[in-house]
């Protein structure tokens, strides 16, 4: 246990270094830049991969920041590299995207598309390209590919469930709603994270999404304690739903990363 704690601290220190690093200079061991050109547009980000990923089937977690955020923000918030150092964790940068009437309507800040028929599916193509690249370089476990994201990144997580659900084992969207593509979702283990005082993505909207996902996943009415702020609704079909409800607003809870990793570890693809 002590050795694992030391390793986790070392990995966290490595990520902290890259968060402060400029383009020049080398990166800490296990941390790699991602630069891809998709339809003529450069896409960027970075990822952490354990040395064992070259030879051992390894889980993979994609993390998507909120509107106006960055890969660096996502790494600081979600800390998948620290909570699950045995997994590959990927943090990507969005592109300028309109955020709606109340949030960046002119689209000057980075974000993700939340419809499959907009902007030439650029972010779905990014997901596909990064997944293909990592599969070519590492022993990615095809049964343990997971996706999480906050706010706009949470909406994109739901979109990936709808459009790429055949390759994703489980999802953990935060501060988001399912959107207009709910009818394209197929049962899948899901953890939804929400703040009771969220005024941006209103809590009642998220409640409707959670009720719809519970029904889709064929979950029991009765729940059981699962972790901080979290209740788990079992499913006879093997697609449980968990609700992480914290007392905050649109923020990402500091208790969330450990619960997300626990859920992902326990729910590989069948």
- Which helix (DSSP H) or strand (DSSP E) does residue 174 occupy? strand 170-174
Compute the average pLDDT of residues 95-110: 82
What pLDDT band is residue 182 in, cutting at 50, 70 and 90?
A: confident
Q: Check residue 24 and give its pLDDT.
A: 35
What integer best gives the mean pLDDT of the chain? 89
Q: Check residue 7 and give its pLDDT.
A: 52
Distance CA 219, CA 197 (A): 26
At residue 18, does pLDDT exceed 70? no
- Single pTM value for the model: 0.89
Distance CA 270, CA 268 (A): 6
- Residue 22: what are its φ and ψ, rounded to 5°? -95, 180
Where are the domains positioned within the chain?
2-266
CATH class name, domain 2-266: alpha beta
Nearest to 213 by CA among 238, 239, 231, 237: 239
CB 246 within 8 A of CB 260: no
Q: Check residue 19 and give its pLDDT.
A: 46
pLDDT in tens, 105-154: 887 899 999 877 666 789 999 999 999 999 999 999 999 999 999 999 99
- Which helix (DSSP H) or strand (DSSP E) does residue 96 occupy? strand 95-96
Q: Check residue 101 and give its pLDDT.
A: 60
């Amino acid at each position: 246990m002590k050795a694992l704690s030391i390793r986790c601290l070392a990995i966290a220190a490595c990520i902290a270094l890259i968060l402060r690093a400029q383009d020049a200079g080398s990166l800490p061991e296990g941390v790699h830049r991602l630069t891809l050109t998709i339809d003529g547009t450069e896409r960027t980000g970075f990822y952490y991969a354990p040395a064992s990923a070259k030879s051992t089937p390894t889980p993979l977690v994609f993390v998507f920041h909120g509107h106006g955020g960055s890969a660096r923000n996502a790494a600081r918030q979600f800390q998948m590299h620290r909570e699950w150092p045995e997994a590959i964790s990927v943090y990507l940068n969005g592109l300028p995207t309109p955020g709606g009437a109340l949030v960046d309507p002119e689209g000057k800040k980075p974000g993700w598309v939340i419809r499959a028929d907009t902007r030439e599916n650029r972010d779905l193509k990014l997901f596909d390209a990064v997944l293909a690249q990592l599969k070519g370089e590492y022993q990615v476990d095809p049964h343990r590919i997971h996706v999480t994201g906050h706010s706009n990144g949470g909406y994109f997580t739901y979109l990936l469930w709808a459009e790429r659900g055949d390759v994703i084992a489980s999802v953990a969207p935060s501060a988001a709603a399912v959107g207009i593509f709910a009818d394209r979702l197929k049962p899948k283990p899901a953890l939804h994270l929400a703040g009771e005082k969220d005024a941006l993505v209103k809590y009642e909207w998220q409640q409707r999404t959670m009720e719809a996902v519970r029904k889709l996943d064929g979950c029991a009415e009765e729940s059981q304690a699962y972790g901080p702020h979290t209740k788990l609704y079992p499913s006879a079909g093997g697609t449980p739903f968990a609700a992480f409800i914290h007392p905050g607003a649109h923020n990402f809870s500091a208790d969330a990363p450990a619960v997300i990793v626990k859920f992902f570890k326990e729910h590989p693809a069948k």
